[in-house]
Amino acid sequence: MALAFVVLDGHQHDRAGFSCGVAALDDYLLRRAGRHQRDGIATTHVLVDDTDPARILGYCSLSAAQLYLHEMLERDRRRLPAYPVLAIRVGRLAVSQVQQGKGYGQLLLGHAVNLTVAVRQSMGVRVMIVDAKDAEVAAFYEGFGFRRTAGAALTLYLPVPG
């Protein structure tokens, strides 16, 4: 068994067989992720096991975004220009119910951070952003260094290392 991250392929991956227990996240993967990918709105990265590559263990969707300086903590605004900073938004992150508790959420987040660092090296990105659905999810992200923005209690950001 070897885990791999791949970009969602609607012809290969079993989106209908995925359930994380949150209807909105399941519906996104089933009905909108493919269209968003085709339209350049977001990319969806799925975690699969090479022994059953059609089965989705978890996924995250990423898109371009921006964060206004006044939303950041003072220490993170130093030396930044007076306009919004470029960002990568983790739009959704979910792990299959039967796979929860195995650390796959952490793996998916690590994958998203790695992709963001790679983008920063080629075109400049300052932060990752996530809109947590509730306080429990916000605490998950805070455990990895995400900071709450000034304006929205459940919007968090992570400065991306250079």
pLDDT of residue 124: 85
How many CB atoms are closer than 10 A to CB 162?
8
Dihedral sign of CA atoms 66, 85, 122, 6 in order:
negative
List the domain range (segments joined by +) for residue 133: 3-159
Mean pLDDT, range 46-63, rounded to an integer: 97
Active site residues: 141
152, pLDDT greater than 80: no
User: pLDDT tens digit string along 60-105?
Assistant: 999 999 999 989 998 888 888 888 999 999 999 999 999 999 999 9
pLDDT of residue 35: 97
Mean pLDDT, range 13-19, rounded to an integer: 97
CB–CB of 46/38 below 8 Å?
Answer: no
Dihedral sign of CA atoms 109, 162, 130, 39 in order:
negative
pLDDT of residue 1: 74
Rounded Cα distance between 156 and 21, Å, is 23
CATH number at residue 10: 3.40.630.30
162, pLDDT greater than 80: no
- Look up the pTM and report it: 0.93
Number of domains in the chain: 1
pLDDT of residue 91: 94
User: pLDDT tens digit string along 102-149?
Assistant: 999 999 999 999 999 999 999 889 999 999 999 999 999 999 999 999
